Amino acid sequence: MSNISPLCPKPDVCGSCGWSHIPYEKQLQQKLSDINGSFAMKKLDLQVEDIFPSPKTSHYRNRMDFVISFKGEVGLREKGKWWRVIDDHTCFLGDEKIETLFATVRDWSKSCGLSFFDRKSNIGTLRYAVIRSSSIGETMIIIVTSAPNGESQSGEGNVLTTVDFNDDKASIESALADLAKNAGATTVVWSVNHTVSDVSFGDDLRVIGGPGAINENIDGIKFRISPNAFFQTNSYAAPMLLSTVRDFAGDLTGKTLLDLYCGTGFFAVAMADDAKKTIGVELVADAIRDARINAELNNVSVDFHDAKTEDFDWMKLGADVVILDPPRSGMHDKALADVIAAKPARIVYVSCNYKNFAREMVELSKYYDVDNIRAVDMFPHTPHVELVTALVRK
């Protein structure tokens, strides 16, 4: 393959990618073998032969979440050791702009005067530095902290306590303002996590510099990406995923398209002009807000609903084509039962976990035939892969 990347300098220690020691061609072959092996285990008469390789196999990730340890180390976690951080270690999968900003953020974290979060005592301020980029050159730095002094924090048992052992609000804002001034990022956001949960996102977003979001353009479609919004990790392979779903959906003229688990509207917004009516359903309220903005940016009409797919009564909407793009855990049992009960004429199932798809396909195969199936490698140097399947009602 072209575009061969330098290998990870610490593959035995870093748990970020996992497959960097395998030549890329063999990775593609292994992914096909693993998918088909899962089908065979479920006794499914299915075979995937097509896999689209990623246009880039290094520096393709548009988001990296870096841990800040209680010692002030900034980097990725050691393999199998959540409590240990490899200081000054990025990842060859991350966008070059992310690597540049990482060095700036690391230097800032060590000199800004703010305390570091101790994940055992739950004391301290700085927790994570999340850096995002887009293919059109925009960048976002999200600094995740504990609640500042004087604000409430939810501890074990959801007991609210007043924080009095972290940095004060003014000190944090001043330090972040310096970062925003000197980093050169499109936007800098302060993300406050008011809980003791060790996650790389907060429940309170405060814009320090810039617009508070970045823009992306995939195959001519405009997208706004807010700090907590999910977006396809590989902007370079995303057009292949979009074109595959569009192709598998068939002619949408005069039809109603339903996008379940629609996120920020990646498929719904891009395909709305092709259908008579387009509907999107997503659990995350922030994602739906972004989805509505994305529809406006592209001058398309999509009826978005903020709801759990398994709780939303979509069967009366008369969907002709349904896109299913559930999280890695797969579909909720009730959501799968609803799909089978509604029996739309065509389903395009986008799965980032082929094992769960194989399990669900055991039931779906009773009512649907596979019209087309294709893997799209959105995640080079990892065991993960996107699997897109077109299902037609028997």
**Which residue numbers are catalytic?**
352
Check: CB of residue 127 under 8 Å from CB of residue 145: yes
CA nearest neighbour of 51 among 234, 327, 217, 237: 237
Q: What is the 3-state secondary structure (H, E, C) of 253-312?
A: CCCEEEEECCCCCHHHHHHHHHCCEEEEEECCHHHHHHHHHHHHHCCCCCEEEECCCCCC
Say how far apart CA 312 and CA 220 lie, in whole Å: 31
**Beta-bridge mates of residue 393:** 368
**Beta-bridge mates of residue 347:** 322, 391
> Residue 251: CB partners within 8 Å, gap ≥ 6?
none
Distance of CA 313 to the CA centre of its chain: 26
Q: Which of left, alpha, beta for 299 (phi over 0: left; psi -120 to 50: alpha)?
A: left
